């Protein structure tokens, strides 16, 4: 599913009108879709307040409010202008709610949800009064009352194309039809929170976009249920080069993640002197193979995929040299992470990267691999990197991008700031490795792994605002279900 400018969105809308589709039917379906997304996120009813301006963005909020009320929510309305100044459609949607709505916070329990319907793609320039005051009220309720802000289409006040502009900071942005380009920029990402899409059949996304919003609607079938006659041999064997004394956790997290993501067999290859520290904490399902040449063994054991890098900073110099030599020869597809990437960068061997390699750098590791690209815009830098080195690049950061030669770059919407902690990358490389071992295309393996880890971390928010890598691991199975149910 691509990203479009505000003008391109208007063109799609105009094309729909020419085919006889009415603006009202688009709004009805937009509002219903928004409510469905919200009800998936908040299965228990709570309190919802719609904050609206006079345009159609407020109409979306009013339709969504009606569905929330039907689902048992207490509702209220904060309108910036008297109803006589609203557009035709929002006025009609207000009447469909029938009775007078309170304009104070509803009493009761459950989540407090603020529907931000002040401005959508009609926003021009800095948010003006009286909308600015309502945006401040939402921010205050979010900070002091734990309110969750859900933006209709766009966080109010940001520019649909650039994402620039100060306005509402949302926890969720439910964008309608096609995702707006401004949601993908650093400024937009800082305002939007989790992006969810309500696709509308009458507003089909244009073909050939350079950036795609990744998710189960756009990529169905990536994680189909296993056939009934599936067996261990079908689910892939992984060779893991991970962990060293003091960094055993990285190996445990990567191995466990690979197993949870469905790998049939995970083998950890270690040097004899690392065995005492690495063997004990490993899950019982993991095979541990000891040899003076673990790199050679991992590359020649007939694995379906390799995961190389988590916690291997202390790998022997011989091991490092062996690794660089092996990467140049024929070998199975491989995830390269963390110190695996640092070895490449330090040795000046980044040019070894090719289509067999799925690399997962965070911004610091990326800078070491390509110092000249690090200051560029992330999307441009990612595309330039895979043009230079034809591998699959999963570039971590606020929001993860997955770029590969000949593919539209993918934008991963899942995850949250509370997962910024050690070990998350190890989990991600294990999950991506499992999908590679099952024969998935590297860019699909990378995107799906990023989506699932982010979604698992979102599920873990039920425990509290900070999510450890172990929390993410615990929720991976649930995230896989969420993908299959296509509701997120």
Ligand X SMILES: NC(=O)C1=CN([C@@H]2O[C@H](COP(=O)(O)OP(=O)(O)OC[C@H]3O[C@@H](n4cnc5c(N)ncnc54)[C@H](OP(=O)(O)O)[C@@H]3O)[C@@H](O)[C@H]2O)[C@@H](O)CC1
Number of neighbouring beta carbons within 10 Å of residue 235: 19
The distance of closest approach from Cβ of residue 140 to ligand X in the complex, given in angstroms and rounded to an integer, is 19
The distance of closest approach from Cβ of residue 169 to K ion in the complex, given in angstroms and rounded to an integer, is 12
The distance of closest approach from Cβ of residue 195 to ligand X in the complex, given in angstroms and rounded to an integer, is 14
Give the one residue of 56, 74, 156, 256 binding K ion; rule: CB under 5 A. 156
Q: Tell how strand 305-308 and strand 334-336 pair up.
A: parallel
C-beta separation of 454 from 400 below 8 A: yes
| 465 token code pair | 């605002």
- 75 membership: H or E segment, kind and range: strand 74-79
Q: Which is nearer to ligand X, 128 or 232 (CB)?
A: 128
For residue 10, cis peptide bond before it (omega within 30 degrees of 0): no
> CA–CA distance from 59 to each of 50, 100, 200 (Å)?
10, 16, 16
Residue 175 found at the interface with K ion (CB under 5 A) = no
Q: Tell how strand 401-403 and strand 392-395 pair up.
A: antiparallel
Stretch that binds K ion, among 108-116, 272-280, 299-307, 416-424 (CB under 5 A): 108-116
In the complex, residue closest to ligand X by CB: 120
444 in a labelled binding site: no
DSSP 65-99: HHHHHHTT-EEEEEESS-GGGS-HHHHHHHHHT-S
Give the one residue of 127, 169, 253, 402 binding ligand X; rule: CB under 6 A. 127
Report the DSSP beta bridge partners of residue 401. 395, 411
Q: Which is nearer to ligand X, 93 or 410 (CB)?
A: 93
Q: Tell how strand 148-152 and strand 172-176 pair up.
A: parallel
Stretch that binds ligand X, among 115-123, 215-223, 246-254, 448-456 (CB under 6 A): 115-123
Give the one residue of 8, 27, 315, 373 binding ligand X; rule: CB under 6 A. 27
C-beta separation of 323 from 343 below 8 A: yes
Judged by CB under 6 A, the chain residues 188 through 207 that form the site for ligand X are 203
Distance separating alpha carbons of residues 165 and 126, to the nearest angstrom: 6
224 in a labelled binding site: no
Judged by CB under 5 A, the chain residues 64 through 103 that form the site for K ion are none
Residue 259 found at the interface with K ion (CB under 5 A) = no
Residue 235 found at the interface with ligand X (CB under 6 A) = no
Give the one residue of 35, 134, 151, 450 binding K ion; rule: CB under 5 A. 151
The distance of closest approach from Cβ of residue 334 to ligand X in the complex, given in angstroms and rounded to an integer, is 44
Judged by CB under 5 A, the chain residues 47 through 66 that form the site for K ion are 57
Give the one residue of 11, 15, 96, 128 binding ligand X; rule: CB under 6 A. 128
- Encoded one letter per residue, x for contact with ligand X by CB under 6 A and - for no contact, window 67-106 reads --------------------x-------------------
Distance separating alpha carbons of residues 63 and 465, to the nearest angstrom: 30
- Encoded one letter per residue, x for contact with ligand X by CB under 6 A and - for no contact, window 327-366 reads ----------------------------------------
Rounded (10°) CA dihedral 32, 35, 37, 42: -160
| 42 token code pair | 């908040």
Distance separating alpha carbons of residues 334 and 238, to the nearest angstrom: 9
Give the one residue of 28, 116, 159, 444 binding K ion; rule: CB under 5 A. 116
Interior/surface letters 266-277, b for 16+ CB within 10 angstroms, e for the rest = bbbbbbeebeeb
Backbone angles phi, psi at 357, to 5 degrees: -105, 130
392 in a labelled binding site: no
Of 242, 314, 239, 254, nearest to 278 (Cα)? 242
269 in a labelled binding site: no
C-beta separation of 384 from 405 below 8 A: no
123 binds, among ligand X, K ion, none (CB under 5 to 8 A by kind): ligand X
Give the one residue of 152, 268, 393, 394 binding K ion; rule: CB under 5 A. 152
Binding residues for K ion, rule: CB under 5 A, are 57, 116, 151-152, 156
Binding residues for ligand X, rule: CB under 6 A, are 9, 13, 26-27, 30, 53-57, 59-60, 87, 119-128, 131, 152-153, 176-177, 203
């Amino acid at each position: 599913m691509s990203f479009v400018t505000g003008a391109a969105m208007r063109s799609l809308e105009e094309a729909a009108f020419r085919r006889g589709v009415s603006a009202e039917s688009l709004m009805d379906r937009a509002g219903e879709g928004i409510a469905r997304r919200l009800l998936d996120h908040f299965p228990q009813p709570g309190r919802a307040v719609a904050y609206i301006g006079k345009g159609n963005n407020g109409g979306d909020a009013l339709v969504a409010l009606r569905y929330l009320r039907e689902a048992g929510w207490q509702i209220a309305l904060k309108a910036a202008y008297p109803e006589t100044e609203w557009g035709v459609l929002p006025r009609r949607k207000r009447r469909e709610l029938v009775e007078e709505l309170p304009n104070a916070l509803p009493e009761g329990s459950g989540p407090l949800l603020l529907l931000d319907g002040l401005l959508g793609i009609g926003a021009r320039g800095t948010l003006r009064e009286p909308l600015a005051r309502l945006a401040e009220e939402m921010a205050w309720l979010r900070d002091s009352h734990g309110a969750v802000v859900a933006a209709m289409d766009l966080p109010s006040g940001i520019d649909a194309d650039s994402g620039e502009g100060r306005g509402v900071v949302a926890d969720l942005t439910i964008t309608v039809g096609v995702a707006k380009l401004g949601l993908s920029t650093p400024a937009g990402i800082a305002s939007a929170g989790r992006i969810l899409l309500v696709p509308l059949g009458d507003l089909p996304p244009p073909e050939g976009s350079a950036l795609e919003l990744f998710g189960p609607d756009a990529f169905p079938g990536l994680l189909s249920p296993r056939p009934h006659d599936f067996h261990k041999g079908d689910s892939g064997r992984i060779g893991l080069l991970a962990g060293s004394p003091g960094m055993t956790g990285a190996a445990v997290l990567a191995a466990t993640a690979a197993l949870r993501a469905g790998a049939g067999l995970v083998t950890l290859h270690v040097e004899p002197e690392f065995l005492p520290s690495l063997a004990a904490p490993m899950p019982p399902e993991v095979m541990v193979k000891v040899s003076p040449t673990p790199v050679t063994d991992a590359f020649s054991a007939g694995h379906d995929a390799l995961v190389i890098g988590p916690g291997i900073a202390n790998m022997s110099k011989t091991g490092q040299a062996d690794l660089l030599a092996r990467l140049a020869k024929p070998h199975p597809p491989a995830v390269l992470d963390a110190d695996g990437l640092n070895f490449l960068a330090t040795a000046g061997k980044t040019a070894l990267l090719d289509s067999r390699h799925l690399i997962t750098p965070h911004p610091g590791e990326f800078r070491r691999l390509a110092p000249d690209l690090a200051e560029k815009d992330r999307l441009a830098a990612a595309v330039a990197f895979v043009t230079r080195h034809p591998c699959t690049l999963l570039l971590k950061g606020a929001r993860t991008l997955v770029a590969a030669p000949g593919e539209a770059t993918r934008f991963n919407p899942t995850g949250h700031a509370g997962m910024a902690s050690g070990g998350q990358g190890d989990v991600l490389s294990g999950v991506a490795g499992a999908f590679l071992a099952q024969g998935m295309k590297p860019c699909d393996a990378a995107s799906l792994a990023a989506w699932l880890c982010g979604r698992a971390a979102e599920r873990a928010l039920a425990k509290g605002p900070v999510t450890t890598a172990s929390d993410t691991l615990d929720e991976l199975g649930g995230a896989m279900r969420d993908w299959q149910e296509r509701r997120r």
